[in-house]
Structure 1
Amino acid sequence: MNLKTAIYEHLKNDPQIAGIVAGRIYRSLSPQGSEFPFITYQRITSTNKNDIDFITERFQFDLVGKIEDEDELETLKEVVIDCLNRFKGDLGGTGFKVKSVWLEIVADDFNEDHSARRIILDFRFAYLRNQI
Structure 2
Amino acid sequence: MAESPSKSPNKVLRSPVQFLMPSPIITRRTRTHSTSRAASNNPVKTGVIKEFCKHKGHGFIIPDGDSSTTLFVHVSDVEGEYVPCTGDHVTYKECLVPPKKIKIQAVEVIITHLAPGLKHHRWEDPEDD
- TM-score by shorter chain over 0.5: no
Structure of larger gyration radius? 2
TM-score, with structure 2 as normaliser: 0.26
**Larger strand share, 1 or 2:** 1
State the structure with bigger RCO (CA 8 A, min sep 6), 1 or 2: 1
